[in-house]
Structure 1
Amino acid sequence: MSFRDKVAIVTGAGSGNGRAIALQFLAEGAKVVIADINVDGANETVSLSPQGDNAFVVKVNVTKKAEVESMIAQTIEHFGKLDILINNAGIVKFSTFLEIEEEEWDLVHDVNLKAPFLCSQAAAKEMIKSNTRGRIINITSVEAHRIVSSSGHCQPHYNSSKGGLNLLTKAIALELAPHGITVNSVAPGVVETPFTAKGLENPEIKAWILDRVPVGRVATPNDIANAVLFLAKAESEYVTGATLFVDGGWTIH
């Protein structure tokens, strides 16, 4: 019960990695804000936890400053404080460079980069105000560090948004270090979620992926959650501005 006295916000907690992260925090005793634009998914996450009474659902569009500030305010009103923020909400589009429309470019960057900025800024102000030695953890991607393409095409808006999030992590970590707040990122490889399920059902695609993962399997959401919980614990207080790769060794070669 490492987080018995802690309060965490997990964005995008209505499915996939965010759901696994939220459920593990609840299992470890934390009080958790299940933040998602999809309220049905968020409520389902709560229903899956025996500790669901310690969860609080907030509907939020994390690209809107007013809604983000409301999420922080509701957290304080409901739980009294904020210790941990997990910027997990994200989006990927598979358009190639020559196909991307301006609206799609803006959407990907708004969700993947602007939203973590808004959430981190609002959370950090509250942490500083309450003198909380908090934790901010961003979910990035191996695609922030290398181009992943099996067909000669990539997703440059996704790559650049996640690459920007890595540098945002470092910049925020530097500024917030004097306040005792650490800021780190977790960079998953391919994770088996409802979003990736269709692609992983294709034997050729799955074989192409596994050929690049030395440990020989795709990640599970719990693999990502385990890394996040480590960075949220007191034992990681000397780690800040870092990226923890959870990719089965993809980026080794």
Structure 2
Amino acid sequence: MKLKNKVAIVTGAGSGNGRAIALRMFEEGATVVVADMNEAGAHETIALASEGSKAMVVKVDVTKKEEVENMVAQTIRELGKIDILVNNAGIVAFTPFLELGEEEWDRVHNVNLKAPFLCSQAVAKEMIKAGQGGRIINITSVEAHRVVSSSGSCQPHYNSSKGGLHMLTKATALELSSHGITVNAVAPGVVQTPFTEKGLAIPEVKQWILDRVPAKRVGKPQDVANAVVFLATDDADYITGTTLVVDGGWTIH
């Protein structure tokens, strides 16, 4: 159990990649704060964990500073510390650039970029206060590094939000390194989650993806979770400011 006696916050842990990350952390012995706006989904995640897993549910809108600070304060109050933060909560939208409205632009950036900033800042302050270092892991995307489109249109608001999170990872890694806090990112390719199930249900779309992925399969949330858990363990102690791409080889070419 590589995360025994560790306390982790995983945002967006009520479904998809976040749920898989929380479940893998339970397996490795961590106490997990399952944070999500969807409180029912968060409780479902805990119900899937093995017997004896230690967990706490926090209903939180991670785009709101006060709610983030309350989440962190509650974790410290009830669990005593925070060793690991996984900024997983995210949204995706497919509106073409020329039709994209300001409200949707702001919503995507608030969830995908502002929220990791708020959570990382609040958690890092507690990590520094405790003086024991820590791990911050951001879930970005291969679309932080390349534009992906099967139809001629793409997702400029999503691409830019994840690209911003990529650079936030590097900048905070540099600033927090003197405190023993590592900051890394995991960049998934196409993964079978509630976000992608509608698109993957279209045979032509799924085939377009499989034609470009050397591994010849769509990713699973467990693939992302395994990478996150590695970066959270002592095995990754000398790794910071980097991105682990989990895409079946899509970005090789």
Q: What letter corresponds to residue 8 of structure 1 in structure 2?
A: A
Please report how far the alpha carbon of residue 201 of structure 1 lies from its aligned counterpart in structure 2 after TM superposition. Answer: 1.6
Match of 2:34 in 1: 34
CA shift for structure 1 position 194: 2.0
* Equivalent residues in 2 for 1:42-191, closer than 5 Å: 42-51=42-51, 53-191=53-191
Residue 138 of structure 1 aligns to a residue whose secondary structure is strand
TM-score of the superposition, structure 2-length normalised?
Answer: 0.99
Partner SS for 1:137: strand
The equivalent of 1:213 in structure 2 is: 213
Residue type of the alignment partner of 1:101? G
The answer to which of 133-142 and 43-52 deviates more is 43-52
Is 1:13 aligned to residue 13 of structure 2?
yes
Q: Secondary structure at the match of 1:226?
A: helix
Deviations 1:17-42 (A, max 9, x none): 00000001011110000000000100
Instruction: Note if contact 1:68-1:118 (Cα within 8 Å) is conserved in structure 2.
Output: yes
> Equivalents in 2 of 1:67, 1:52: separation in Å?
28
Mapped partners of 2:69, 2:132: distance in 1: 18
When residues 85 and 51 of structure 1 are mapped into structure 2, their CA distance, relative to the original with a 3 A threshold, is farther
Q: Does the CA-based 8 Å contact 1:21-1:225 persist in structure 2?
A: yes
Counterpart-to-counterpart distance in 1, 2:182 and 2:51 = 27
Cα deviation digits, residues 208-232 of structure 1 (max 9, x gap) = 0001100110100000000000000
Deviation at 1:78, TM superposition (A): 1.4
Question: Which one-letter code corresponds to 2:66 in the other structure?
Answer: A
2:187 partner letter: A
User: Once the 2 structures are TM-superposed, how far is the Cα of residue 171 of structure 1 from its aligned partner?
Assistant: 0.2
Q: Which runs of 5 or more residues in structure 2 are unaligned?
A: none
Aligned AA (2:247): D
- Structure 1, residues 189-218: CA drift from partner, whole Å, max 9, x if none? 000112211211211101000011001101
Cα separation, 2, equivalents of 1:197 and 1:168: 29
Distance 1:178 1:66, change over 3 A: same
Q: CA deviation at 1:52?
A: 5.9
Q: Per-residue displacement from partner, 1:125-179 (whole Å, max 9, x unpaired)?
A: 0000001210000000000100000111001000000000000000000000000
Aligned to 2:201: 201
Cα displacement string for residues 76-128 of structure 1 (whole angstroms, at most 9, x for unaligned residues): 11111100000000001110001111010000000000000000000000000
Measured after TM superposition, the shift of residue 50 of structure 1 is: 1.6
SS in 2 for 1:135: strand
Distance 1:53 1:227 in 2: 21
User: AA paired with 1:213?
Assistant: V
User: In the aligned structure 2, how far is the partner of 1:82 from the partner of 1:181?
Assistant: 12
Give the Cα–Cα distance (whole angstroms) in 1 for the partners of residues 200 and 50 of structure 2: 30
Distance 1:51 1:176 in 2: 36
Question: Amino acid of the residue matched to residue 127 of structure 2?
Answer: M
Q: Structure 1 length normalisation: TM-score?
A: 0.99
- Matches of 2:59 and 2:10, distance apart in 1: 12
SS of 2:98's equivalent in the other structure is: coil
Offset, 1:53: 4.6
Count how many residue pairs are aligned between Structure 1 and Structure 2: 253
Q: Could you list the runs of 4 or more consecutive aligned residues of structure 1 that deviate by over 3 angstroms after TM superposition? A: none
Q: For 1:228-247, what aligned pairs fall within 5 Å after superposition? A: 228-247=228-247
